[in-house]
Amino acid sequence: MSVEFLTYAALGARLNISAAAARSLARRLHLPRSLSEDGKALVSVDLAEVRHTPHPPGGHRAGEAVQLRAMIVTLQAEIVQLEARAAGNRADFEHERERADRLIAEVLQATAETTAAREATARLEGEVAALRAAVRTGSSDENHGHSARRVGHVAASLVEADRRASRG
């Protein structure tokens, strides 16, 4: 419990550490410092209050450094493998995206053709219904000529629709 004034070298010797480590410890603990008559720094310290356990010598840390370097090399190799896998996945993604774009274009084309076919079917059904109504209402020669023309239009419409379907 007594306060002592020690140089960094003396503090290091008491704590079994180097003078540089003692200086660093004094800074970390905010120990009061002053200068001696010969210009050396003195640290005011109560050694009973300082709880410091020195680290093992650098030889043990060298083994840790070798292990860490080996781990770094392993992780770098793993990064290279993951980047290669990511590039392959990206290529697969781009291929599937192009395929999806082509399929969407085909679906849009089929939808347009289906809509056109439905419209043509509705128009032809309307013409057939009109012909049937005309046949039911009378069979005069004038009506017969008109019906024949309408049948010709229906036949022409069917042929045109068939040609469009065979082109698409």
Contact yes or no for 88/122 (Cβ under 8 A): no
Extended beta strands in the chain, E state: 4-6, 33-35, 41-45
What is the structure's pLDDT at 121? 87
What is the structure's pLDDT at 108? 96
What is the structure's pLDDT at 112? 94
Between the two ends of the chain, the Cα-to-Cα distance in Å is: 102
User: pTM value?
Assistant: 0.42
Selection from 62, 33, 28 nearest residue 45 by Cα: 33
Our CA dihedral for 60, 64, 65, 69, rounded to 10 degrees, sits at 160
Name the residue ranges covered by the structural domains of the chain.
Answer: 4-45, 58-167
What is the structure's pLDDT at 104? 97
Selection from 133, 124, 132 nearest residue 153 by Cα: 124
What is the structure's pLDDT at 36? 83
Q: How many whole angstroms separate alpha carbon 6 and alpha carbon 43?
A: 5
Q: How many whole angstroms separate alpha carbon 10 and alpha carbon 36?
A: 13
Domain 4-45: which CATH number of 3.40.228.10, 3.90.550.10, 1.10.10.10, 3.40.50.800: 1.10.10.10
> How big is the chain, counted in residues?
168
Our CA dihedral for 130, 133, 139, 141, rounded to 10 degrees, sits at -20
| Pairing outcome for strands 41-45 and 33-35 | antiparallel
What is the structure's pLDDT at 45? 85
**Per-residue confidence in pLDDT tens, the chain, 168 aa:** 588 888 889 888 888 888 898 898 889 888 888 888 888 888 888 877 777 776 666 555 667 888 899 999 999 999 999 999 999 999 999 999 999 999 999 999 999 999 998 998 888 888 878 777 776 776 555 555 666 676 677 777 777 777 777 776
What is the structure's pLDDT at 115? 93
Helix (H) or strand (E) segment spanning residue 103? helix 58-137
